[in-house]
A and B are shown apart, each in its own frame.
Chain A
Amino acid sequence: MTFSYEQHDVVASAGPTPSQTVGPFFHYALPYDAGPRLAGAGRAGAITLSGRVLDGEGAPIPDAMVEIWQADEQGQLESVGVHGEVGADGFRNFGRCETTADGGYRFRTVKPGAVQTMDGVQQAPHVAMSVFARGLLRQVVTRVYFDDEPTANATDPLLAAVAPDRRATLTATGGDGGYRFDVRVQGVDETVFLDVFAR
C-alpha cells in the first residue's frame, strides 16, 4: 500500500499550530531523572501515583510519556522551574515520566488540595494528566481523582457530568501509601478523556 495525498499550493491560514505525534524517539530529549519526583524524599504525606498505560487490546504502551500538573496540599498552583531535584521537603507542581516496557509510570507527589472552578465552584481534589505517545496525534488529557474522597467526589461538577458507569475510570485507587491509576486509551473501560483546548 502507498498513499498519495493531494497537495495544493496554499498559504497557511492564521490560527493555532496543529499538534503532531510525539513519535517513538523522544526519550533522549524529554524525560529527565527528576521528572517523576514532584515531592522531596522528606515531604510529609508524600504519596506515589502509579499505573500503566494500555492500548485498545489491553497491551501495555511502552513508549508513552505521562505528564501531570497539580496543586499542592493547600491547593496552590505556583511552580517555577521543572528541572533539577526538589529539596528534601520540597514540592513542585509538574511531573513527567516515560513509561517502562510494561507500560508503567510512577510519580512521587502529594495529594492535592481542592481547587475551585473559574466560577468558584468547589471541585474534588484532582491531578491533571496528559499522555503522549506514538500513535497519538495529540495528547490525551484526563483528571485523576481519589477514591478516598467520596464526599468531595460526590459533588464534583466534572464527575457529575460523566456517565456513572465511566466515573471509575477517573478515580485512583488508594492503598499502602500509594494510589493506582491506569490509563486505557481505547476500548473496554476506556478512560474518560477531556477536551480542555477548545475554550
Chain B
Amino acid sequence: MPEPTESHVRESLDPAYRFDDYRSTLLRAPHQALVVPPPGLTELTGPQFGEGDVRDTDADLTVHSDGEPIGERIIVHGRVADRDGRPIRRSLIELWQANAAGRYIHAIDQHPAPLDPHFTGAGRCLTDDDGRYRFTTIKPGPYPWRNHDNAWRPAHIHFSLFGRAFTQRLVTQMYFPGDPLFYQDPIYNSVRDEHARKRLVSAYDHATTVEEWATGYRFDIVLGGADATPFEDGGDLR
C-alpha cells in the first residue's frame, strides 16, 4: 500500500488521516492521495440557517432539565471567522461533551463514573452578525479510553461548525489551558505543528467570568477553505 502523501495535510496543519499512535486510524485512514477537484459551486456553498435550527435554551446546557447539573459552571465564547478575518454570520455551531465526572450520556460509554440526571451535554447556537457565539455549560471531566495503557483524554468539548460552505465544514475539539493530560494524548498531538495545536486550547478569560456565577473561557475559531460568497464590503475585514 502506498503511504499517505503530503496532499493529505491541509496546509500541513491539520492532522494527517493516519496517526499510528491513535489506533483507530489504522484501518480507517485512506491510503491513496487526495484528488483536488476543479472548484465547483457544490463544494463552495453550504446551508444557511434560520431560527428554526435553534431554540433560545440550546446555548445553555445547564437549563435542559428541571434541576442544576453538578460541576463547575463555565461560559465558553468566541468568534468564528474565515481565514481573511470575515465573521461567519448566522452559522450553526453544535457542541457535545462529557459531564463533570467525565461520563457521556451515550449508551456505549462504559466509564464507571456517574451520569448526571440534569445534564445531557449537547447544545447548539447560531453565531451573531459579528460571528460571535456564547455557551453556558459545565466543565467536562477527563475520561479513560483504551487506546493505550492507562490512557486518558484531556477534558474537551466537541465543536461542529458549518461555516458558509461545504469546504469550511469543521469538526474539532476545544481543550482547556494547562491540562496535565496533553502529553499523553494522541488525538490532541495528532496535530504535529505545536503552534497550530495550541489553537485547539481555549484561554481563561477573566473578563467573561461572571462574579458569583461562572468562570469564562474564550475559544476563537478560524475556518479555512474558500467559499463562493463575495466580499460584502471592504469594511468587513477585521
Do the beta carbons of B167 and A22 come within 8 Å of each other? no
B169 adjacent to chain A (CB < 8 Å): yes
- List residues of chain B with CB within 8 A of the CB of A126: 42
Residues of A within 8 A of B39 (CB): 117-119, 199
Q: Assess A136 versus B29: contact at CB under 8 Å? Given A17-B170, A193-B34, A196-B37.
A: yes
| B28→A185 contact, CB < 8 A | yes
Give chain B residues whose Cβ lies under 8 Å from the Cβ of A55. 27-28
Which residues of chain A are within 8 angstroms of B15 by Cβ–Cβ distance?
Answer: 18-20, 137-138
Task: Kindly provide the distance from the CB of B100 to the nearest chain A CB, expressed in whole angstroms.
Answer: 16
What band does the interface of chain B fall in when counting residues whose beta carbon is under 8 Å from A?
35 or more
Residues in A whose Cβ lies below 8 Å from that of B46: 69, 94
Q: How far is the CB of B64 from chain A (nearest CB, A)?
A: 12
- Closest CB in chain A relative to B189 CB, distance in Å: 4
Interface bracket on A: 35 or more
| Segment at the interface with B among A23-31, A40-48, A147-155 | A23-31
Q: How far is the CA of A109 from the CA of B15 in the complex (A)?
A: 33
Closest B-chain residue to A160, C-beta based?
B38
Q: Is A61 an interface residue (CB 8 A)?
A: yes
**Given that A13-B195, A28-B120, A81-B50 are contacting pairs, would A4 and B183 also be in contact in the complex, using a CB cutoff of 8 Å?**
yes
Kindly list chain B residues whose C-beta atoms are within 8 Å of the C-beta of A17: 170, 172, 199-200, 221-223
Contacts of B122 in A (CB 8 A): 28-29
For the complex, is B106 an interface residue (Cβ under 8 Å from A)?
yes
